[in-house]
Structure 1
Amino acid sequence: MATPDTRTQILDAAERLFAEHGYRGTSVRAITKLAGANLAAVGYHFGSKAELMAAVVRRVVEPITAAQCAGLDKLLARTPDPPVSELVEAFAGPLFDEMPAGDEGGARTSRLIVTILSDPAEEARSWTGPAEDSVRERYFAAFARVLPGLSPEELWFRMRGIFAVTAVERLQVHQQPSPGCVSPVAGEAARRWAITFLTAAMSASPPLT
C-alpha cells in the first residue's frame, strides 16, 4: 500500500484534531506534528489554517452532499412535490450512510459535524462553497413547496435540526453510555427511528403567534 502523501497526512491529522479540540483548540504545530510534516507544510499545501479547515470539512461532506443531490434528483424526476418523509430520507439518509456505527471514520465524521454546528470560531462555519450552497438551496425550495405554512426562518431552523439530531445520534453510537443509561441503537433501526422523528419534526404545524 502506498504511503499517503504529505497533503493527505495533514488532512487526516487536522480532521482528527479539529474534531477533538475544535478550530481554536487546534494549533498548526499540533497538526504538523501528528502528520509528521514540517511547520511550513500547511501554508504550502493549503495557504492557511482556515483554508485547511475548509478542505477538511469539504473532504468529509462532499460524499454526503453528492448523495443528497442524487437522492433529490431521483425524487424530483418522479414528482415535483415528493412527500416530506421522502425528502427527509433523501436529506438525512446520507448522513447515516457516511457515519456508520462501528467505524472510526464514521465517528470522526460525526464529531466533526458536531464541531461545525457548535464551534464558536467563524472559520468553522465558513467552509461552504457553491456545491454545498446549491444542495442546501434545492432542498430548502423542495421543503418550502410541501410545507408552505413555515416561514423561511423556521424552515431553515428545522433543516439545521436534521444535521444536529443526526450527528449527535451518530456520535453517541460511538461513545460508551453512562452507567444507568440505555445504550444507543445502531444500524437500520436507528435510521428508521430518526427518519420517523425528523419527518414529524419537519411536518409539525408552526407555533401560534
Structure 2
Amino acid sequence: MAKNAENEDVRQRLLDAGEELFSEYGFNGTSTRLLTKKAECNLASVNYYFSGKYELYLEVIRKRMKYLRDLRVERISEVIAAKGEKLQLEELLRVFAESFVEPLMQDASGRRFKKMLRWEMLNPKFPVQEFIDGMIKPVMQLVVPVLKKMYPGLPDNKTVLCVVSVVSQLLHTIQMEEIFLEVKGDKFMPFDIQQHIEHIVEFSSAAIKGMSG
C-alpha cells in the first residue's frame, strides 16, 4: 500500500508540475528536466508514469477537460431538471454561460488551462477530435435539444449555430479579460464578468427569439 501511495504521489506531482509549466511555457518550451525538477523526482519518472512528455501533456489536458465538462453538464442539468417545462431561455443561457466562464477565471487551475488553450492555438498538440468528443459534444448534446424544444421553428443547423455564437462571445470575453483589466476604471471598456455574462444572455436571447419567428 505504501508503495502504491508513493507512486500516486509522484504521478500527481508530475501532473501538477505539467499543468503549471505547460501553461507558462507551452509544450515545446517545457523540457523533461524542467518537469522533473519542479515535481522533485528523477528524470526517468516522466517515462515511467506517462511513457513520455507528450503523454503527460495529454493527461494534463484530459484531466482538466473532464473536470470542466462534468461541471458544465452537472450545472446545466440541475437547472433543466429543477425548472422543467417552466425553464426560460435566459435561464438556460445564463447557466450555460456561467458554467463555461467561471471555472476558467476564478481559480488558478482554470486560468492555467486557459493559457494552455492559447498555446494549443499557436502550436496544436492535443487531438482535435478527442477535444470535440470529450469537451464539446456532451454539452452541445445537452443544450441543443432543450433549445430546439423551446423554439421548434429554428432549423436544426441554426439551433447549433446559435449555441456556437454564444460560445464565441464567451471565448472572446475570456481571452480579452487581461486587456479589459488593463483599462480598469475606463467607462468605455468596463470589465465585470457578471455584467458581461448578463449582456451575452440578453443579446443572445433576443437574437434567438428573433430568428425563431
Q: Is the 8 A contact 2:98 2:197 kept in 1?
A: no
Change in 2 beyond 3 A, CA 1:112/1:82 = farther
Name the SS of the counterpart of 1:98 in structure 2.
Answer: helix
Give the structure with the higher percent helix. Answer: 2
**2: distance between equivalents of 1:139 and 1:52?**
32
> Which one scores higher on RCO, CA 8 angstroms, separation ≥ 6?
1
Q: Which has the larger displacement, 10-19 or 89-98?
A: 89-98
Q: Which has the larger displacement, 190-199 or 153-162?
A: 153-162
Alignment of 1:192-207 (within 5 A): 192-201=195-204, 204=207
- Number of residue-to-residue matches in the alignment: 199
TM-score (norm 2): 0.68
Change in 2 beyond 3 A, CA 1:94/1:179 = closer
Runs of 4+ aligned residues of structure 1 deviating over 6 Å after TM superposition are 178-184
Question: How far 1:14 moved relative to its partner?
Answer: 1.0
1:134 correspondence with 2:138:
yes
Over the aligned positions, Cα root-mean-square deviation in angstroms equals 3.9
Question: Which of 121, 124, 129 in structure 1 is aligned with 2:124?
Answer: 121
**2: distance between equivalents of 1:138 and 1:89?**
15
TM-score (norm 1): 0.69
Question: What's the counterpart of residue 55 of structure 1?
Answer: 59
For residues 63-93 of structure 1, give each alpha carbon's deviation from its aligned partner in whole angstroms, at most 9, with x where no partner exists.
3322211222223323368433222222221
For residues 165-195 of structure 1, give each alpha carbon's deviation from its aligned partner in whole angstroms, at most 9, with x where no partner exists.
34325x528x97279977864xxx4224224
**2: distance between equivalents of 1:16 and 1:69?**
26
Who wins on radius of gyration, i.e. which is larger?
A: 2
Q: Quick one: percent identity of the two aligned structures?
A: 21
Change in 2 beyond 3 A, CA 1:50/1:153 = farther
Question: What's the counterpart of residue 41 of structure 2?
Answer: 37
| One-letter amino acid of the counterpart of residue 177, structure 1 | E
Change in 2 beyond 3 A, CA 1:180/1:130 = closer
Question: What's the counterpart of residue 91 of structure 1?
Answer: 96
